[in-house]
Amino acid sequence: MARALSSTSSRVALPSRRPSVAAWPPLVVASASKPRLARTRAEPASHGFGATRGRPGRCRSRKVIDEGQHGREANPNLPEQPDEIVERRAACRPSRPAALIRAGRRCRSSWVPAAATVARGGLVAFVGLVALEHVLRPGLPPADHFVSEYAHGATAPVQTAAFVAWALATAACAVLAARVPGRPVARALTVLALAAAAAGLLIAATFTTQTVGGELPTGVERTTGGRLHDVGTLAILAGLLVAALASVRLLPRRGYRLGVLGLGAALLAIVPVLVALGYDAPGVGQRGFILVGCAWQWLFVRASLGPVGATTG
Residue 111 falls in which region: left (phi positive, over 0), alpha (psi -120 to 50) or beta: alpha
- Cα separation, 262 vs 264, in Å, equals 5
pLDDT at 216: 84
Please answer whether residues 64 and 34 qualify as being in contact, where contact means their C-beta atoms are separated by less than 8 angstroms. Answer: no
- Cα separation, 117 vs 190, in Å, equals 19
Give the residue ranges of DSSP H helices in the chain: 2-10, 35-41, 61-74, 82-92, 96-136, 156-178, 184-206, 224-250, 254-277, 282-304
- Cα separation, 13 vs 58, in Å, equals 19
- Render pLDDT for 120-131 as a digit per residue (tens, 0 to 9): 999 999 999 999
pLDDT of 175 strictly over 70: yes
pLDDT of 99 strictly over 50: no
pLDDT of 81 strictly over 80: no
Q: Across all residues in the chain, what is the average pLDDT?
A: 76
Phi, psi of 119 (to 5 degrees): -65, -50
pLDDT of 245 strictly over 90: yes
Q: For the chain, what are the domain ranges?
A: 114-304
- Render pLDDT for 203-237 as a digit per residue (tens, 0 to 9): 999 999 988 877 888 888 889 999 999 999 999 99
Share of the chain above pLDDT 90, in %: 45
Which range (75-84, 151-160, 238-247) has the least confidence? Answer: 75-84
**Confidence tier at 9 by pLDDT (50, 70, 90):** very low
Please answer whether residues 197 and 235 qualify as being in contact, where contact means their C-beta atoms are separated by less than 8 angstroms. Answer: yes
- Cα separation, 103 vs 109, in Å, equals 10
- Residues ≥6 apart with Cβ < 8 Å to 170: 119, 122, 194, 197, 198, 201, 239, 240, 297
